[in-house]
Every structure is written in structure tokens, then in C-alpha cells.
Amino acid sequence: MSLLFSRKCEYAIRAVIHLTREQVPVSVSHIAKELKVPRAFTGKILQELHRAGLLRSFSGSKGGYCLAKPPDRMTINDIIMTIDGTPFHQQCILGMPECSSRTPCPMHSWWSGISDQISAELNKPLSVYLP
């Protein structure tokens, strides 16, 4: 399990990466089996990604899910924002809700620089992380 994302977000990222390797729509059952994630949970995640416009869905015996746009037009941050909302790196590292550049916590300056680097990576096209 990731320390950076919720389990749901981790599964969503893995599902999207899996779908980058597929040329045809893939069933929920197939994705769940490949990722070793419960089918019902996988289905809910894929529906959320579909509602956000990251996936397309197809009905019928050959139906399933596929990417709604090419990997060079999608980012890991798109997935994080859909599933978890505010990314972990945009929150105070000490968990202080009032932390900001106007009222910084003791770690704010240090974390701000790291956060900018993480943000830059997560906003790169998904295609740069694929083999």
C-alpha cells in the first residue's frame, strides 16, 4: 500500500496504467483479476474515472473500459484529483490546517520546494512513465 495516496487512488492509478496497454475495451472482471483487487471495488473506481472523463465505457459482451484520451494527454495528477481530491503534496507536511505562505509552519519553506518538484512530476503526461 502506498503511503502517499489512498488505497483507492493507488488502485485507480494501477487500473489506468493497465488500460494504457490495452487496444480494446477491458472488462471490470479482467482488470480486477489483473490488479488483484475486489471486482465491486474496481467497478466503483472505474465508474468514478469514467464520470471524470478519464475513461470511456462500452456496454455489451465485448464491453468494458478504455482510456478516454491518449496517455500523453493525461496525468497522474488527473487521477489523484478525481479519486482523492487535494493531492498529499499540497497539504501541510505537519498536518496544520492553517499553514500557508502567510502563516507558515516550521517546515513550510522546505516542504514548499519539495511540493513544487512533486507537482511538476505528477503533472507530466502519463506517457513519460510508460515503457
CATH number at residue 78: 1.10.10.10
Is 2 domain-assigned? no
Is 55 domain-assigned? yes
Cα gap 56→53, rounded to integer Å: 7
Is 49 domain-assigned? yes
The parent domain of residue 120 ranges over 7-129
The enclosing H or E element of 10 equals helix 7-20
Give the pLDDT confidence score for residue 93 in this predicted structure: 85
Instruction: Name the more confident of 20 and 88.
Output: 20
Q: Phi and psi at residue 5, in whole multiples of 5°?
A: -125, 160
Compute the average pLDDT of residues 35-64.
96
pLDDT tens-digit series, residues 71-102: 999 999 999 999 998 777 778 888 888 888 89
H helical segments located in 21-123: 28-35, 39-51, 76-83, 108-122
Is 18 domain-assigned? yes
Compute the average pLDDT of residues 20-40.
96
Is 119 domain-assigned? yes
| Number of separate domains in the chain | 1
Is 125 domain-assigned? yes
Number of Cβ within 10 Å of residue 114's Cβ equals 12
Cα gap 53→68, rounded to integer Å: 7
Is 1 domain-assigned? no
Rounded to two decimals, what is the model's pTM? 0.87
Is 76 domain-assigned? yes
Give the pLDDT confidence score for residue 88 in this predicted structure: 75
pLDDT above 90: residue 131: no
Compute the average pLDDT of residues 117-125.
94
Cα gap 78→101, rounded to integer Å: 25
Cα gap 28→65, rounded to integer Å: 7
The band of 110, judged by pLDDT with boundaries at 50, 70 and 90, is very high
